[in-house]
Chain A
Amino acid sequence: GAVVSQHPSRVICKSGTSVKIECRSLDFQATTMFWYRQFPKKSLMLMATSNEGSKATYEQGVEKDKFLINHASLTLSTLTVTSAHPEDSSFYICSARVSAGGGDTQYFGPGTRLTVL
């Protein structure tokens, strides 16, 4: 299957700083990528849809000014958590969509664990 990478895999930062997470599709181009967040023992929650060359679409309750998404190329989307606070500590996962004739498929990255002190 298609490969999606994330960088960094783990990050620890101080409260008030900003953190950027990269999501790359390694062997395919993705016009659409997605960002999810997962708290311990909970299911993944969709945060936003990232479309190449246009503004991201955020899910209800997700602050677009806090979680900045940029999808500048067909293989790279970035999520920046601005002014991070301890409650933003979570597991952030991206996915990239591969369109196909028999229903599209989304491939997920390995995730980034963010800890805000």
Chain B
Amino acid sequence: DAKTTQPPSMDCAEGRAANLPCNHSTISGNEYVYWYRQIHSQGPQYIIHGLKNNETNEMASLIITEDRKSSTLILPHATLRDTAVYYCIVRVGNRDDKIIFGKGTRLHILP
């Protein structure tokens, strides 16, 4: 069973904020929300992860709802280089928990 649900594709205008949603209604209390992205023909790139609190780094912000059943990845000022497939992954984050990729969201940044 898929742990997360993401829209298959989204468009965003260059320079605008890209908001990528993810539903994870069955998340457990000890599971983190991770975001990765894969630009065409490259290996996946780690973006951010969080447990309960909102997180921000130099790449993006992660907003997790209070009930933890959904989250949003925000790219504040999208550029053409942000065109990629974005994966939302829920996992415990220890050595016994593997990363299993779903289908992700294909984000198109429009010039």
* Contact call A108/B95, Cβ cutoff below 8 A: no
**How many Cβ-Cβ contacts under 8 Å join chain A to chain B?**
62
Interface size class of B (residues with CB under 8 A): 20 to 34
* Contact call A46/B99, Cβ cutoff below 8 A: yes
Find chain B residues with CB under 8 A from A107 CB.
46
Q: Residues of A within 8 Å of B, CB-based: how many?
A: 28
Q: Closest CB of chain B to A54's CB: distance in Å?
A: 12
A103: contacting residue among B49, B100, B103, CB under 8 A: B49
* Contact call A34/B49, Cβ cutoff below 8 A: no
* Contact call B43/A32, Cβ cutoff below 8 A: no
B43: contacting residue among A43, A99, A102, A108, CB under 8 A: A108
By secondary structure, the B interface counts as: loop
Interface: B75 (CB within 8 A): no
* Contact call A99/B44, Cβ cutoff below 8 A: no
* Contact call A1/B44, Cβ cutoff below 8 A: no
Find chain A residues with CB under 8 A from B94 CB.
99, 103-104
* Contact call A104/B93, Cβ cutoff below 8 A: yes
Residues of A whose CB lies within 8 Å of any CB of B are 1, 4, 6, 31-32, 34, 36, 43-46, 49, 91, 93, 95, 97, 99, 102-111, 113
Contact with A along B73-111 (1 / 0, CB 8 A): 000000000000001000111110011111110000000
